[in-house]
């Protein structure tokens, strides 16, 4: 007696299935199916049944079985036009008559028109001179039926863009979701889904990889226990739907993360979702907000939830162009540093409960690379060196004591696991400890004194270049200050400029040979890219002992101020850095993405459009090549 409009959706869906599964000719001719073909018997029946479903609950006169009788009753009650009822009724009779003529031949249960002489025979049985005459009439008749049925679906509130979905593969797959995804099986969920469907389809078709974007959306829906609230929220807040669709279609890494963890949507509902994260201390307090008695695993899950939410929010801010990419990179670094501090504190608490403490000793962590420079991307690993203070030979005071060196090496393993081992809430970071003294063959954690001795006496030039972007990121203030002083002393030591230059040139050649650029947008590895800028900066830092700042942008500004590099180089670096940070989400393969992602990438890089961005990229690379020639006396060719 009352009907949710989703019943119309069900009829449309069933029609779409029939049309999609039908493999015969679109128009009448040899092979055309009179029953299932477009404008055939089934669509006339569905036309009548649809109106009966809508109005029959309140009008008993419409509860009739025969299609012709139903059409006549609908016209008599004024529910459909008399002309439509008369035409569809006559068409129904005509198609049924032709169907019977087909089945008279060889007494076969068939609905398909035969070919050649057999078609002529059916036509003559049906009163036509030949098959062409019969086909001509059927084409006109079926075309008129199909047009009326299409108008019926549109008239029942189906947007035109949705009505055409039945004609492509995406529409067929989306139709199947109503049967295969539990969260969409209820009438309210289907109604809400129908309301957002046009925007969804439009966005999917504009995606750089529509198939993967569709799969991510499908996975997201499949993992929701209930879709009603979320879909209704999308209706009430179109801006939120736009954000989610931009994530799914523009940023594959974020889309994959959202598909795995739908709860990330909660962060977008938060009013602070478009704000940059707070200080390391504020973030650490959020990550550590557990109660007494919470398990170690629960603490790690809490850290992962907060990190995932903040990284996701920062990604949305980037693709929405809410903040400068360099500010996004700084925010990602604060999140990582807070995660390190909180995970290390939790691991230390667990470790001390068993092994106690080492008197006068503590764990210290040195961050290198993009973490050291406070400029992480969404794809960055954490480059870490574990150190410890205090004497080496003393034992810890717990119920299972360990000597200091073994103690801090096992503790460092625990911290690495806390940061990298997946839990129920996912993984955090990949941790890279290969930059430690003696590399992978050396101990995971060494004492401050051993580290200083190694850096002064045995380290290679490339290790000192890595140290130029080093920053203490965990430990008490006194030990961090002591470590920072050691790093500065190592970087300030006198060097042989010619040997340093030779080492730098050799390293750059090896990178070019073994790590070629991934694509035309590889802002890091292309000649004239970020690696060249960093080599220039680190060479001058080590040669002259100046601008000893771990942040490349800060060091570069100091070098430009001292006249050691061209004044334009900091600007070129900013463009390249923006492209790297934004490209990790919008062009993760370093190749030109789809047009919509190209526009978002250009906006993030502060360019009015993508062609302008490409010109700016070429100019920046040429500017870096000019600085390279000035510093090293070597010409670098930048392709046009």
Mean pLDDT by 10 residues, the chain (640 residues): 50 68 82 89 90 79 90 90 94 92 80 87 88 92 90 52 42 76 85 82 74 81 82 79 86 88 83 89 91 83 93 95 96 98 96 96 98 97 97 93 97 96 82 92 94 95 96 97 97 96 96 93 97 98 97 97 97 98 95 90 96 97 97 89
Q: In this predicted structure, what is the pLDDT of residue 13? A: 67
Residue among 12, 243, 301, 300 at smallest CA distance from 150: 12
Q: Which of 384, 386, 388 is nearest to 369 (CA)?
A: 384
Q: Which two tokens stand for residue 347?
A: 């691991």
Q: Residue 32: which of 20, 42, 40 has the closest Cα?
A: 40
Nearest CA to 628 out of 565, 548, 560 is that of 565
- CA distances (Å), 572 to each of 330, 530, 623, 634, in order? 19, 9, 7, 19
Return the structure tokens found at 127: 């009163």
What pLDDT is attached to residue 201? 78
Q: Are 255 and 248 in contact (CB under 8 A)?
A: yes
Q: What token pair was written down for 301?
A: 């899950």
Per-residue confidence (pLDDT) for residue 263, from 0 to 100: 84
Q: 523 CB contacts (<8 Å, ≥6 apart)?
A: 529, 530, 576, 577, 579, 580, 583, 617
pLDDT at 126: 84
Query: What pairs with residue 365 in β-bridges?
Result: 386, 474
> Rounded distance, CA 439 to CA 130, Å?
87
User: CA 569, CA 573: separation in Å to the nearest integer?
Assistant: 6
pLDDT value for 319: 94
Under a CB-based contact definition with an 8 Å cutoff, are residues 528 and 624 in contact? yes
Q: Give the integer Cα–Cα distance in Å for 478 and 485.
A: 11
Is residue 159 within 8 A of residue 199, CB to CB? The reply is: no
At 9 the pLDDT is 56
Task: Give the pLDDT of residue 171.
Answer: 67
pLDDT at position 413 is 97
């Amino acid at each position: 007696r009352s009907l949710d409009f989703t019943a119309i959706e069900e009829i449309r869906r069933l029609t779409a299935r029939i049309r999609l599964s039908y493999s015969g000719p679109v128009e009448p001719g040899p092979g055309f199916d009179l029953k299932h073909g477009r404008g055939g018997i089934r669509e006339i029946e569905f036309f009548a049944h649809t109106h009966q479903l809508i109005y029959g609950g309140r009008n008993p006169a419409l509860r009739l079985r025969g299609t012709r009788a139903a059409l006549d009753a609908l016209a008599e009650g004024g529910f459909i036009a008399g002309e439509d009822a008369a035409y569809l009724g006559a068409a129904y009779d005509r198609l049924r008559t032709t169907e019977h003529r087909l089945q008279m031949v060889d007494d076969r249960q068939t609905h398909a028109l035969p070919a050649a002489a057999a078609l002529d025979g059916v036509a003559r049985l049906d009163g036509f001179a030949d098959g062409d005459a019969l086909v001509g009439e059927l084409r006109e008749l079926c075309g008129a039926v199909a047009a009326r049925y299409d108008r019926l679906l549109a008239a029942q509130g189906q947007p035109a863009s949705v009505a055409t979905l039945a004609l492509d593969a995406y529409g067929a797959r989306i139709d199947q979701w109503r049967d295969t995804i539990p969260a969409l099986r209820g009438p309210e969920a289907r109604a809400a889904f129908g309301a957002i469907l046009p925007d969804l389809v439009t966005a999917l078709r504009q995606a750089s990889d529509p198939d993967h974007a569709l799969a991510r959306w499908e996975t997201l829906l499949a993992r929701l226990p209930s879709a009603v609230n979320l879909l209704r929220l999308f209706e009430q807040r179109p801006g939120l739907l736009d954000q989610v669709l931009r994530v799914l279609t523009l940023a594959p890494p974020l889309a994959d993360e959202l598909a795995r963890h739908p709860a990330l949507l909660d962060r977008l509902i938060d009013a602070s979702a478009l704000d940059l994260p707070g200080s390391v201390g504020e973030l650490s307090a959020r990550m550590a907000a557990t109660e007494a008695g919470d398990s170690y695993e629960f603490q790690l899950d809490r850290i992962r939830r907060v990190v995932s939410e903040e990284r996701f929010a920062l990604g949305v801010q980037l693709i929405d162009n809410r903040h400068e990419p360099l500010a996004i990179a700084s925010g990602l670094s604060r999140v990582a540093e807070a995660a390190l501090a909180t995970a290390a504190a939790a691991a230390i608490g667990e470790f001390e409960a068993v092994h106690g403490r080492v008197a006068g000793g503590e764990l210290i962590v040195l961050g290198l690379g993009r973490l050291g420079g406070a400029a992480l991307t969404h794809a960055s690993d954490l480059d870490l060196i574990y150190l410890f203070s205090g004497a080496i030979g003393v034992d810890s005071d717990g119920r299972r004591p360990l000597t200091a060196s073994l103690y801090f090496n096992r503790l460092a393993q625990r911290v690495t696991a806390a940061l990298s081992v997946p839990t129920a809430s996912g993984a955090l970071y990949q941790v890279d400890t290969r930059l430690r003294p003696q590399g992978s063959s050396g101990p995971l954690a060494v004492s401050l004194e051993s580290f200083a001795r190694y850096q002064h006496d045995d380290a290679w030039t490339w290790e000192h270049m890595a140290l130029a972007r080093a920053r203490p990121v965990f430990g008490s203030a006194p030990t961090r200050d002591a470590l920072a002083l050691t790093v500065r002393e190592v970087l300030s030591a006198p060097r042989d400029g010619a040997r340093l230059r030779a080492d730098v040139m050799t390293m750059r050649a090896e990178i070019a040979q073994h790590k070629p650029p991934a694509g035309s947008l590889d802002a890091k590895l292309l000649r004239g890219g970020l690696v060249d800028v960093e080599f220039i900066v680190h060479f001058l830092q080590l040669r002259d002992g100046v601008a000893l700042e771990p942040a490349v942008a800060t060091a570069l500004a100091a070098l430009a101020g001292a006249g050691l590099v061209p004044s334009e180089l900091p600007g070129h670096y900013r463009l390249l850095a923006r492209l790297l940070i934004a490209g990790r989400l919008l062009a993760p393969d370093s190749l030109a993405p789809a047009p919509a992602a190209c526009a978002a990438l250009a906006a993030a890089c502060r360019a009015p459009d993508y062609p302008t961005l490409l010109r700016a990229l070429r100019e920046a690379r040429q500017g870096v090549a000019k600085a390279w020639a000035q510093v090293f006396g070597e010409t670098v060719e930048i392709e046009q």
